[in-house]
């Protein structure tokens, strides 16, 4: 951490060049002694990235930004704020893998005390400095291995242990839970000797059923999406819990939050009605499909499914609070009829449970994109291939 960057004239320079290209700044000679042009560019790049991901940091004067990789790996402001709602007020929490400290900060808004552990001493110093700038006086940043810190304090009890295992081990991406570092699967029993609740943020690509088979006492699983992009899975393990985990599909969209909760037993037992396309078509948010709420969606919102393996839904009456995209159906035709047409289609293409992928369809039929109309290539009852031409109803 180069504290010369915190000088008033440097901060004014960054403010003046907020919309400048970091690459352009990096190629120029630095106007400040003791600060390289690459360091200036890194701070500018950090501010620009933070504008959308963690706007509080971008809007707070004097924040120091770390390397780009640390910013890419940290939680967004909205997902961190949601996770903070999962803990009780006035409790104590240890963040074993705090990184840039975004999650630690939002946990500190509810917790009485947060211990934030970061193995990289420079990143820990940055996180500690920023916590002071953000007036988070109840965060104690420790430059140490969080797992060692927890295990070496056999007499200390934490209300919550929080960790975000790294999916990059020895510069290689891993996808299985027990391959991540730290290895939560191997550590969970030791952690339960220091805490009654373990909260873990896991990769969105992780198979939920596989993780459930490896973890004990899982009470809740939150599948969190932001702007229809699945960002993270949050597992909550509660010591002694032996019931079936509740799966929560969490949709964060602008200032809106929707949660659909269910169990896999409920999902399997749910009966679904099937139908061809009616007046409206519904495409569920990625949080619901990742969570596996395929039949639950139809049951909760009074919808009919197009096909057992087609996760699109339909109704005669518009469902205004549906957690996903809603389209009004303009025309339905068989894929055979569509192939006979001479004039090229102008529409955004979405392929769902269809033999051809979206890009292959666009290329084969020379389809041009359009911003307001959408054509779904999909499979309905009796395995018939059809094309549903729609117009999206904006929320």
Domain map (residue ranges) of the chain? 3-65, 72-243, 270-393
**Cis omega before residue 180 (within 30°)?**
no
CB atoms within 10 A of CB 50: 22
Q: Which of left, alpha, beta for 240 (phi over 0: left; psi -120 to 50: alpha)? A: left
CATH class of 3-65: mainly alpha
Burial level of 275, CB count in 10 A (0-12/13-18/19+)?
middle
- Ranges of beta strands (E only) in the chain are 92-95, 113-117, 139-142, 160-163, 168-169, 172-173, 197-202, 218-226, 229-238, 246-253, 256-262, 280-284, 304-307, 310-315, 324-334, 348-352, 373-380, 384-393
Say which CATH topology domain 72-243 has: Rossmann fold (3.40.50)
Those residues of the chain that have pLDDT short of 50 are none
- Confidence at residue 339, expressed as pLDDT on a 0 to 100 scale: 93
Q: b/e per residue, 113-128, with b = 16+ CB within 10 A?
A: bbbbbbbeeebbbbbb
Say whether pTM exceeds 0.75: yes
- Confidence at residue 174, expressed as pLDDT on a 0 to 100 scale: 75
CA distance 116 to 74: 14
CA distance 339 to 361: 11
Paired strand residues for 198: 161, 237
- Confidence at residue 121, expressed as pLDDT on a 0 to 100 scale: 95
Q: Which of left, alpha, beta for 171 (phi over 0: left; psi -120 to 50: alpha)? A: left
Q: Which residues contact 56 (CB under 8 A, 6 or more apart)?
A: 77, 134
C-alpha angle with apex 212: 211 to 218, nearest 5 degrees? 120
- Confidence at residue 253, expressed as pLDDT on a 0 to 100 scale: 86
Report pLDDT digits (tens) over 258-301.
Answer: 999 999 999 999 999 999 999 999 999 999 999 999 999 999 99
């Amino acid at each position: 951490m180069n504290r010369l960057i915190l000088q008033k004239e440097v901060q004014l320079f960054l403010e003046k060049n907020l919309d400048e290209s970091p690459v352009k700044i990096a190629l120029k000679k630095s106007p400040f002694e003791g600060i390289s042009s690459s360091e200036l560019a890194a701070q500018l790049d950090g501010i620009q990235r933070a504008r959308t991901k963690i706007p509080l940091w971008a809007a707070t004067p004097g924040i120091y930004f770390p390397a780009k990789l640390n910013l890419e790996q940290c939680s967004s402001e909205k997902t961190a704020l949601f996770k903070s709602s999962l803990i009780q007020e006035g409790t104590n929490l240890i963040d074993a893998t705090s990184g840039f400290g975004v999650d630690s900060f939002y946990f500190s808004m509810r917790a009485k005390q947060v211990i934030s552990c970061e193995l990289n001493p420079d990143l820990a110093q940055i996180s500690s400095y920023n916590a002071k700038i953000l007036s988070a006086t109840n965060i104690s940043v420790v430059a140490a291995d969080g797992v060692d810190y927890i295990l070496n304090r056999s007499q200390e009890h934490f209300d919550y242990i929080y960790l975000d295992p790294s999916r990059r081990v020895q510069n290689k991406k891993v996808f299985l839970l027990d391959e991540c570092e730290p290895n939560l699967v191997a550590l969970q029993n030791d952690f339960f000797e220091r805490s009654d609740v373990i909260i873990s943020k896991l990769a969105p690509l992780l198979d939920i059923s596989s993780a459930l088979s490896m973890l004990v006492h899982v009470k809740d699983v939150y599948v969190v999406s932001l702007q229809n992009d699945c960002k993270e899975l949050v597992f909550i393990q509660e010591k002694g819990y032996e019931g079936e985990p509740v799966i929560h599909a969490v949709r964060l969209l602008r200032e809106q939050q929707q949660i659909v909760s269910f169990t896999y037993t409920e999902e399997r037992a749910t009966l679904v009605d099937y139908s061809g396309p009616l007046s409206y078509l519904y495409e569920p948010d990625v949080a619901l499909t990742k969570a596996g709420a395929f039949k639950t969606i139809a049951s909760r919102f009074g919808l009919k499914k197009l096909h057992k393996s087609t996760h699109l839904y339909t109704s005669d009456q518009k469902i205004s609070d549906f957690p996903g995209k809603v389209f009004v159906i303009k025309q339905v035709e068989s894929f055979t009829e569509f192939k006979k047409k001479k004039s090229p289609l102008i529409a955004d293409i979405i392929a769902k449970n269809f033999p051809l992928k979206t890009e292959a369809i666009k290329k084969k039929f020379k389809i041009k994109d359009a911003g307001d109309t959408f054509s779904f290539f999909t499979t309905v009852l009796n395995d018939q291939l059809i094309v549903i031409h729609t117009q999206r109803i904006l929320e």
